[in-house]
Amino acid sequence: MLWAGVILPVLMIVLVLVFISESSLPSIDELENPRSNEASIVYSSDGKQIGSFYLSNRTKVNYNDLSPHLIDALVATEDVRFYTHSGVDVKALLRAVFGVFVGKNKGGASTITQQLSKMMFHERPKSKLKRVIQKFAEWIIASRLEKRYTKQEIIAMYFNEFDFLNTAVGIHSAARIYFNKSPKELSIEQSAMLVGMAKNPSIFNPVRRPEKTLKRREVVLFQMKNNSILTQQQYDSIRQLPLGLDYHPETHTTGLAPYFREHVRIKTKQIVKNNNLLNEYRKPINIYSDGLKIYTSIDANVQKHAEKAVAKHLQNTLQNLLNKEIKNNKHWPFSNETSKTTRKNSINRAIKNSERYRKLVNQGWSKEDIMKNFNTKQSIRVFDWKSKGLVKQKNMTPKDSILYYKSILRAGLIAIDPHTGFVKAWVGGINYRHFKYDCSNKSKRQVGSTMKPFVYAAAIESGQISPCTTFPDIKYCIDIPFGGITKQWCPGGQKNYSGEEIPVYYALASSKNNITAQVIKLTGGKNSRVVNYFKTMGLWNKSIEKVSSLGLGVCDLSVLEQTSAHCIFSNYGVYVQPITVVRIEDKYGNLLWEPKQEIKQVIDPNTAFSVLKMMKGVTGVKNPITGKTGGTARRLKSTRAYSFSGIMAGKTGTTQNNSDGWFVGHTPDLVAGVWVGAEDPSVHFKTTVNGQGANTALPIWGYFMKEVYRDNRIKINKTDFIPPNEGDKTQIECTYSTNNTDNPWM
């Protein structure tokens, strides 16, 4: 009877194996070239992985990239005779069959290779009978895998295929997400935890069920001790350690540089399409499954400082100031001068662009029901700087939540190496989860006085002025033809002017609108040369017109565009097209694409250096005639919190009604542009004291560059700007009929 109980199941197994269809098994080609979705990895310029694009967040690693503790733990726990069998462990199989017969389960019979077969070639069955048939098929697949791969390759394939949950598909992602390490760096206890998950990752999920996972880890450690991999002393010591998770969930909305990664995702898809890039199977590349290696210009350390700087200023200071200024606005959060029509249109536009509106439309809701929903109070999670996790629950209508979000200041920061065009930092907003619109790239806002350096460059290059040219501080007007008549444009309004002589370099540093108007008038009044600069750089748009007011920044540009334009002053007049994606390789390291960069000489090198030197006065410069000190960014040297002691040049910018605050700062190796404002220009500071670029954008630049200069991991030139090769023709001695000899231009 006992023999019948053993022999009969074996005969049944043989019969099932005979009748399994060859067509139901993977082909030789599929076995030799197994396909699985591999994530495309995004790397920073310093070699750090900053993100991935995936259907399955999997990146394959080689056997030599695995910690030996992983291998020991897996074999000891899942398949102690792994190195001696040929895919099927007969001894374990007979033990399992006998255990079923006598009613005692003494362990599973699936080998590592059989488990791999299941992961690679079988989906979840719809019935127990189909699972039984699958099980037999896995024996055949396992034996075929053993013939085609070494034991080491099978182990590597196993770890690459396994889904460790929480978007951690494969050991590369699991090591990063759970312990912020590479697979090779995993310790004994970390390896044991991950191998323990193989039994059932849903049950032994370290994030949701840490206690169960800890007990399962102890089972793995016990097996390692039983197989003489660990000593009793090691086992006793390690089993008492906590899980020690360093959990870093990887999603498209979390992690470093999310706005930049979204830009890279879109750009990579365009590159693949435009260049007809094909994968190893001669099919169009899919960035979510073909395992590309995307190398970018971003510096991970510079990026971290940029993100922290934006959050620090808005969270600790700026948002509180705005809240106080606008809290009593009759049309909160809009300014009091905003018309009802403008306010209504802005709200309706925001409603129709919202995710909630799109979902309700797709569900077939009528417009009346949708608007009723938007005016019905409900519990809504909203962004909040003061709350834990930056999220709080509020009882409000969806319409009120839209107004609430309009009251929150946004920001953008772009930092570029002016000599290479490599974008080193990219902050598109304050929180990608809640504000996905990229303020640094997609948003175009008026640039204010950050346009003035181009006006002065045009005047110097055309020979109308030199940095030492002086103008009296009086009202200046430009005649503008308008509908057959001539009107006068007089920037500066009815303010009281001193009448004192002002050197041009002082006027730029102090952002004197009236002097700028006179400079514009001398060059023809229409800023034609400035328009040509932007056309040469490829940054022209319809808002950059040949009009007098262009010189005061009435045009609209993105942070990326204006920062890259400013780079010509730090690069001897040469415009270098910004680069974000440096190269793309396939998963085997073969080069697929490199950028072709546009480089253009926009202005004369000496003119560029003259304007750059003029912009150095923004942090403080004396008028040698009057002795007065000017400079719109003087606080950058005096405010302790974000004071910057290095050599720099820059320009602040503030637009009408304080809707937009700008600062573009130059150091020899890095040009960084910062913009701050609300989503809607009708939401803004009442006072220029709080709303000017020197208070909104400049502190972010200060926090950012202060930490960049402190960070020894970042290689950056901290010396002075180097004059052009032709000789420093900007060393001009300005002489005036005054006893004041303090001349910063000498």
Digit-coded pLDDT (tens) for 123-148: 665 555 555 556 667 777 878 888 88
* pLDDT surpasses 70 at 498: yes
Selected residue with higher pLDDT from 576 and 484? 576
| Mean pLDDT, rounded, for 24-48 | 76
Identify whether the C-beta of residue 678 lies closer than 8 Å to the C-beta of residue 429: no
Bridge partners (DSSP) of residue 278 are 284
Tell me the C-alpha distance between 641 and 701, whole Å.
12
pLDDT band at 28 (very low <50, low <70, confident <90, very high): low
Q: Is the pLDDT of residue 19 over 50?
A: no
pTM: 0.87
Structural domains of the chain, count? 2
pLDDT digits (tens, 9 = 90+) for 196-234: 999 999 999 999 999 999 999 999 999 999 999 999 999
Q: For residue 365, give both structure tokens.
A: 């809701």
> Would you say residue 296 lies in a domain?
no
- Domain co-membership, 134 together with 6: yes
Rounded CA-CA distance 279/51 in Å is: 21
Q: Is the pLDDT confidence value at 741 over 50?
A: no
How confident is the model at residue 15, as a pLDDT?
Answer: 47
Residue 742 pLDDT: 47
- Contact yes or no for 112/154 (Cβ under 8 A): yes
Which of 231, 250, 269 terminates a domain? The answer is: 250
Domain boundary among 195, 215, 250: 250
3-class SS at 436? coil
Omega into 333 within 30° of 0, i.e. cis? yes
Domain boundary among 194, 224, 250: 250
Residue 338 identity (one-letter amino acid):
T
Q: Which helix (H) or strand (E) holds 39?
A: none
Instruction: Give the model's confidence band at 121: pLDDT under 50 very low, under 70 low, under 90 confident, else very high.
Output: low
In a domain, 408, yes or no: no
Q: What is the mean pLDDT of residues 356-384?
A: 95
- Flag whether 218 is in a domain: yes
Question: What pLDDT score was predicted for residue 737?
Answer: 44
- Residues 499-526: pLDDT tens digits? 999 999 999 999 999 999 999 999 999 9
Q: What is the pLDDT of residues 619-665, one digit of tens each?
A: 999 988 888 899 999 999 888 889 999 999 999 999 999 999 999 99
Closest CA to 79 of 109, 119, 122, 117: 109
> Within this chain, do residues 99 and 218 fall inside the same structural domain, yes or no?
yes
Enclosing domain of residue 29: 2-35+58-250
Give the range with max mean pLDDT: 90-94, 124-128, 596-600. 596-600
Which pLDDT score, from 0 to 100, does residue 627 have? 86
User: Which is more confident, 251 or 385?
Assistant: 385
Structure-model confidence comparison of residues 91 and 281, the more confident one: 281
In a domain, 509, yes or no: no
Band of residue 94 on the pLDDT scale cut at 50, 70, 90:
low
Task: Indicate if the pLDDT at residue 468 is higher than 70.
Answer: yes
* 144-158: average pLDDT: 90
pLDDT surpassing 60 at residue 51: yes
| Domain annotation covers residue 457 | no
602 pLDDT above the threshold of 70? yes
How many angstroms separate the Cα of 86 from the Cα of each of 113, 147, 149?
9, 8, 11
φ and ψ at residue 558, rounded to 5 degrees: -80, 165
Average pLDDT, the chain: 89
Q: Which residues pair with 51 in a beta bridge?
A: 42
pLDDT at 369: 96
441 belongs to a structural domain: no
The interaxial angle of helices 398-406 and 367-374, nearest 10 deg, is 60
- pLDDT greater at residue 72 or residue 122: 72
Q: What is the mean pLDDT of residues 259-275?
A: 97
Which is nearest to 455 in space by CA: 528, 506, 401?
528
Which residue did the predictor score with more confidence, 630 or 741? Answer: 630
pLDDT over threshold 70, residue 92: no
Residue 481 predicted with pLDDT over 90: no
CATH number for the domain that contains residue 118 = 1.10.3810.10
Looking at the structure, do residues 246 and 344 belong to the same domain, yes or no?
no
Q: What is the pLDDT of residue 249?
A: 85
> In the chain, pLDDT over 70 holds for what percent of residues?
87
Residue 273 has pLDDT above 60, yes or no: yes
* pLDDT of res. 726: 56
| Residue 20 reports pLDDT greater than 80 | no
Same domain, 115 and 239: yes
pLDDT band at 55; cut points 50, 70, 90: confident
Q: Is residue 203 part of a domain?
A: yes
For residue 679, tell me if it sits in a domain: no
Q: What pLDDT shows up at residue 93?
A: 55
Dist CA 220 CA 467 (whole Å): 75
Q: Distance (Å, rounded) from C-alpha 18 to C-alpha 200?
A: 31
What pLDDT band is residue 333 in, cutting at 50, 70 and 90? Answer: very high
150 with 15, same domain: the answer is yes
Strands 40-43 and 293-296: parallel
702 has a pLDDT exceeding 50: yes
